[in-house]
Structure 1
């Protein structure tokens, strides 16, 4: 990641969530009324116009989906999927959320289930500085920021408190920007920190997509887009070997989906259409005995 500025991918995710929040309620998949604060002023103006002009919202979403197939749907649907799983975890009694590589995640503000929970955000200092400046008084005392450049592989245990009961770890939009070695080290650290019964939910890039990005077409175009911004994908995971990888870190896989699964759960019920390829993944696992 380029230094001395907030992540471009964090900006992009915030814009897509803000755009989806302008969709009429009956068709809306995810709602993030805070996301608009993170986008540039001229884009804020466009987003406000989208609220008044549904045709503009639909047209802009269509253009983004055509230029970056699957990306828009993935940002929107994974937001809803993760929200639901956090709500379920809190209902089961988990009261601590650790967001690693938080970017412009606004769940501590918009999910009412987190009102009485402690939230730790671990991310690059550049991103956190801007986020705190924009959110200001909206932040709760139980919402704590831990500035860490994850690429440096600083021991997370040195930055976070020792946990004595199950916690929920969220790694959204992070793993693809780390090397495979760093991903393995990160999961090993989490296994040491996580009490039995802790849950981890993470998004990842399919290994096959990384391999295709050196060729032609859309994978190559996305690679160039990210390379130009200093935020290249550095590693991917293979769905078929995910259970084995997690087991080596003392986690048991509970769920594993890709964008093709979004159609049934989120798109068809709302009569929404997006281009979907299985290039990303979402998985949840639980900490088990060594």
Structure 2
């Protein structure tokens, strides 16, 4: 992924969590830090969506709809991920492609957990600026990794990650942009640093033509209106069936203990919306190492 575009995607995800906070999955989802991490121009779109003020002009309307859709997806998958993190209670948490994730700042359950945030050095520099003087609720170790040059395992070891202790891994919103081979290689690297009792949480897309062409249409419409989609230069490189991903995990010593459709998660969590095609194409798998 191009770093500039990766940062724009991180902002979109942060905006989506800000839109959902206090409005979607109330009692199950909360991210009051998200809005604080956005610049004023980024906050304005969040305010519009939260107020339900749909713009009349074409370009702003497309941006509005993209953020509305993303908010529903993010609320659902955040609820599922946070529940899985709380349930396992491992002493270490690794967030791969952390972006502007605020779990270490908003989840009191992580107070005794060492959190490792893995991301590109440039993305982490931006996050440091946006976080400012905010104090995390637990120990956070930033692990700069350029995946085109660096080895994940070596970077984590240098940051103090203990491969002999259980780890919960969050791999959220990254798999679609990797090839099948890159996904398998990353899972193998994770497995090498996962002691018994570790847990791997992955969000991933399933083969879905409605979602595929819907996203392409959104990119085209944004381009026609003079806007640029945050994901325009991040083509989807892989999709997975639950059976195929479970097999890859099993080969690396993980057992898929839960694999749910995000639409089901959204319904159970009380995420009200009408983006069933987008929610229905995404899944979240929880895999454990015994």
TM-score w.r.t. length of structure 2 = 0.82
**Cα offset, 1:235, TM superposition:** 1.5
- Listed one character per residue, the Cα deviations across residues 31-53 of structure 1 (whole Å, up to 9, x for unaligned) are 11111133331232454577xxx
1:148 to 124, 131, 145: 145
Find 1:287's aligned residue among 272, 286, 289: 289
Aligned residues: 271
Q: Deviations over 1:64-92 (max 9, x none)?
A: 785578533211111111111111122xx
Q: Distance in 2 between matches of 1:67 and 1:108?
A: 27
Shift in CA distance, 282/167, structure 1 to aligned 2, threshold 3 Å: same
2:104–2:115 contact (8 Å) kept in structure 1: yes
- Determine the structure 2 residue equivalent to 1:175: 175
Stretches of structure 1 that go unaligned for 5 or more consecutive residues are none
> Distance between the aligned counterparts of 2:169 and 2:78, measured in 1?
15
Offset at residue 27 of structure 1 (A)? 4.2
Q: Does 1:233 align with 2:236?
A: yes
Q: Which runs of 5+ in 2 are unaligned?
A: 56-60, 221-227
In structure 2, the CA distance between the partners of 1:266 and 1:191, relative to structure 1 (3 Å rule), is: same
Query: Is the 8 Å Cα contact of residues 210 and 236 (structure 1) preserved in structure 2?
Result: no
Equivalents in 1 of 2:53, 2:11: separation in Å?
20
**Distance verdict in 2 for CA 1:121–1:76, change over 3 Å:** same
Which stretch of the first structure deviates more once superposed, 119-128 or 156-165? 156-165
Specify the alignment match of 1:242 in structure 2. 245
Cα distance change of structure 1 residues 234 and 5 upon mapping to structure 2, 3 Å threshold: closer
With over 3 angstroms needed to count, the CA separation of the structure-2 counterparts of 1:85 and 1:3, relative to structure 1, is: closer
Q: Show the counterpart of 2:225.
A: none
CA deviation vs aligned residue, 1:202-242 (integer Å, no higher than 9, x gap): 11121x137973xxx41432565768742222212112322
In structure 2, C-alpha distance between the alignment counterparts of 1:81 and 1:255, rounded to whole Å? 11
2:15 is aligned with 1:12:
no
Residue aligned with 1:165, SS: coil
Helix, strand or coil: the match of 1:160? helix
Cα distance in 2, alignment partners of residues 228 and 265 from structure 1: 28
Q: Quick one: structure 1 residues 64 and 196, their matched pair in 2 at CA, closer, same or farther if it must change by over 3 Å?
A: same
Alignment of 1:261-276 (within 5 A): 261-267=264-270, 272-276=272-276
Tell me which moved more, 196-205 or 227-236: 227-236
Q: 1:58 to 1:242 in 2, by over 3 A?
A: farther
Whether contact under 8 Å (1:199, 1:286) holds in the other structure is yes
Pair 1:35–1:98, CA change in 2 (3 A): same
1:131 aligns with 2:134: no
| Residues 21, 30 of structure 2: 8 Å contact kept | yes
